[in-house]
Amino acid sequence: MIKHTTSLRVRYADTDKMGIVYYAKYFEYFEVARTEMLRALGLPYAELEAAGFGLPVISAAAKYFKGAKYDDALRITAEMDEAPSPRLNIIYRVLLDSSDELVAEGETTLVFVDAGTGRPTRPPKLYLDVLNNLTLSR
Amino acid sequence: MIKHTTSLRVRYADTDKMGIVYYAKYFEYFEVARTEMLRALGLPYAELEAAGFGLPVISAAAKYFKGAKYDDALRITAEMDEAPSPRLNIIYRVLLDSSDELVAEGETTLVFVDAGTGRPTRPPKLYLDVLNNLTLSR
Amino acid sequence: MIKHTTSLRVRYADTDKMGIVYYAKYFEYFEVARTEMLRALGLPYAELEAAGFGLPVISAAAKYFKGAKYDDALRITAEMDEAPSPRLNIIYRVLLDSSDELVAEGETTLVFVDAGTGRPTRPPKLYLDVLNNLTLSR
Amino acid sequence: MIKHTTSLRVRYADTDKMGIVYYAKYFEYFEVARTEMLRALGLPYAELEAAGFGLPVISAAAKYFKGAKYDDALRITAEMDEAPSPRLNIIYRVLLDSSDELVAEGETTLVFVDAGTGRPTRPPKLYLDVLNNLTLSR
């Protein structure tokens, strides 16, 4: 498994009148976590787009265990299988940094598309190369 | 089943650089749909809060079939079982109003909590009454 | 002056932990108000984009008088001068629908650009025609 | 003047179909910048709230010079006068980290309120102490 941890801090804008992070915001946190995981792999998402690929989300889910609060420091792990696939299944865990309590967990599936046609396509070579190099280096 | 349909229009703010609605935004659309369903039932969510109850989301999921675009008119159905329960399972379908194409579908589970303690609680009487009246009137 | 009024309802997502609408959200409400003003003029913004023009915001400001709350019904007026110009200065007023209390007021300046180059350009003919017809019809 | 610089990265969620950061988002970036300025002063905003004070925004403005793009690293400076006042006037500058180009600048005015009544109030002692210590230490 490929695993990466990102840190972020809850903004006032993220909270709602219940005093906790609005439930849809976690999907934005997941975006940050997968962006940073791809960057850590040496494959910034912006480069994938520059190479003519898109990676839209086709399904997303989250479970909420504890309401994160304003200014909480969060740790978000993103994890995915290292076997190449036209679909990326990424699993997330959001933790309170101070106490390691589990705030939420989630999952997204993204699919490689040709940015021109919007149609699903085989994973780009630059992506496959990154995964191959990972495996070779073990 | 209780079923309600809400209409809304995609804002520029909702789109991302891919030119379609950002995936997390659909959960906000779901919020609008369930709010209007509860209002149509005669039970505005604001009244539930005023009565000392909260209804946080404990799980949420969505599948995306077609990217909705800026200024698209959308129709969102929200559906839930009319049997009283401390958990509300609501199912959503987002359709392009012009063509009836399915844009996305989703599901959320919400749980009644005591707003003071944050603890799960039995459904409030005003909610049970609404559901009972529905059944009686059939 | 061209003046148009739009209605919208405050979403849970729009509130913050202070229990009122987060200050940045009003700029999204302003977007809704100007979009509907342009549509009422017979010139949907989406058509301007389809014709190869963009209309980015170059300045924006707001003053806040009263915190709008969850589920409040708001009325937003957008007003602009009917003299053709490469810049659109639009003034907004946000009112509580129930009491006519002033919630916020604001202003945005937008400038016509060529969508290809991103450079400022003369207002598109379809926009000038709309304004001319307005004046003629008085 | 008190001045503090914060870094952040543009999220996909922040962009709109024009391919640049949506104009309202900058006000959220300003929030991050002033939060971090207050923290650097030794006065986290969360502590102000815990002490029974609120600091709502009463006016906000921005000018936009260049569209920031997805994944851009931004530097945001927040600056305010160190003379104690019941109103905080904060000025912001958003720069592209790679080139120092000016993306946007803005200003917000916030006012201390009693969190219980919502009424404007004198600045809290813990805030005055921080400013006094700043001045003394020069």
Distance from CA of D14 to the nearest CA of B (A): 7
pLDDT band at C92 (very low <50, low <70, confident <90, very high): very high
Q: Strand A73-80 relative to strand A2-9: parallel, antiparallel, unpaired?
A: antiparallel
- Three-state DSSP class for residue A103: strand
Instruction: Please name the member of B32, B44, B49 whose beta carbon is closest to the beta carbon of C11.
Output: B32
pLDDT confidence of D132, banded at 50, 70, 90? confident
Q: What's residue B138's pLDDT?
A: 61
Chains that touch D (3 or more CB pairs under 8 A): A, B, C
Q: Could C17 and A13 be called an inter-chain contact, meaning their C-beta atoms sit closer than 8 Å?
A: no
Q: Tell which residue, B94, B110, B112, has the closest CA to residue A63.
A: B110
A14 has a pLDDT exceeding 70:
yes
Question: Measured between alpha carbons, how far is D114 from C112 in angstroms, rounded to an integer?
Answer: 44
Quote the pLDDT of residue C93: 98
Interface of C with B (CB under 8 A): 11-13, 28, 31-32, 35, 44-46, 49, 70-71
Nearest-CA residue of chain D relative to C30?
D24
* Domain range annotation of chain A: 2-136
Give the pLDDT score at B110: 97
Please name the amino acid found at residue B123. P
Specify the DSSP class assigned to residue D74: E
**Interface contact C15-A16, CB threshold 8 A:** yes
Q: How is residue A117 written in tokens?
A: 């046609």
Tokens (6 digits) for A64: 């909420």
For D113, nearest residue in chain C (alpha carbons): C18
The mean pLDDT value of chain A amounts to 94
CA dist A65 and A50 (Å) reads 38
What's at B49, amino acid-wise?
E
Query: Using CB atoms, which residue from B12, B17, B70 is nearest to D19?
Result: B17
Q: Which of A7, A47, A71 to mutate to test the interface with D (most CBs of D within 10 A)?
A: A71
Average pLDDT over residues C13-19: 96
Looking at the structure, give the CATH architecture of the domain made up of residues B2-136. Answer: Roll (3.10)
Which residues in chain A have Cβ-Cβ distances shorter than 8 Å to C12? 16-17, 22
What pLDDT score does D61 carry? 98
CB A92 within 8 A of CB A106: yes
Cβ-Cβ contacts under 8 Å, A60 against chain B: 23-24, 61-62, 64
Size of interface A-C (CB pairs under 8 A): 28
Give the model's pLDDT for residue A138: 61
Classified as helix, coil or strand, B53 is strand
Residues A35-82 have pLDDT tens digits of: 999 999 998 998 899 999 999 999 999 999 999 999 999 999 999 998
Closest-approach residue (CA) in chain B for A23: B57
Task: Give strand pairing partners of D52.
Answer: none
Low-confidence ranges of chain B (pLDDT < 70): 136-138
The Cα C102–Cα C96 span in angstroms is: 7
Average pLDDT over residues A101-114: 97
Q: Per-residue pLDDT tens for D67-108?
A: 999 999 999 999 999 888 889 999 999 999 999 999 999 999
What is the per-residue pLDDT for C138? 61
Specify the amino acid at residue D16.
D
Q: How confident is the model at residue C116 (pLDDT cuts 50, 70, 90)?
A: confident
Task: Check: CB of residue D16 under 8 Å from CB of residue D83.
Answer: no
Q: Which two tokens stand for residue D134?
A: 């700043």
How far A122 CA lies from chain C's nearest CA (Å)? 30
CA pair distance B120, B54, nearest whole angstrom: 9
Residues of D with CB under 8 A from a CB of A: 11-13, 28, 31-32, 35, 44-46, 49, 70-71
The ipTM of this complex is 0.94
Chains near B (3 or more Cβ pairs under 8 Å) = A, C, D
Distance CA C129, CA B14 (A): 30
Closest CB to A31: pick one of D13, D28, D46: D13
Contact B92, B32 (CB under 8 A): no
Instruction: Determine whether the interchain pair B24/D13 forms a contact, defined as Cβ–Cβ distance below 8 Å.
Output: yes
CB atoms within 10 A of CB D40: 15
Using CB atoms, list chains with 3+ pairs below 8 Å to chain A.
Answer: B, C, D
Q: CA dihedral in degrees (A43, A46, A52, A58; nearest 10)? A: 90
Q: Is residue A9's pLDDT more than 80?
A: yes
How many angstroms separate the CA atoms of B20 and B12, rounded?
A: 9
Q: Residue C130 has what pLDDT?
A: 87
| Contact yes or no for A35 and D28 at CB 8 A | no
Average pLDDT of the residues in D28-34: 98
Q: Who's near A38: CB < 8 A, 6+ residues apart?
A: A44, A45, A48
Tell me: pLDDT of D138 over 70: no
Residues in chain B within 8 Å Cβ distance of A31? 24
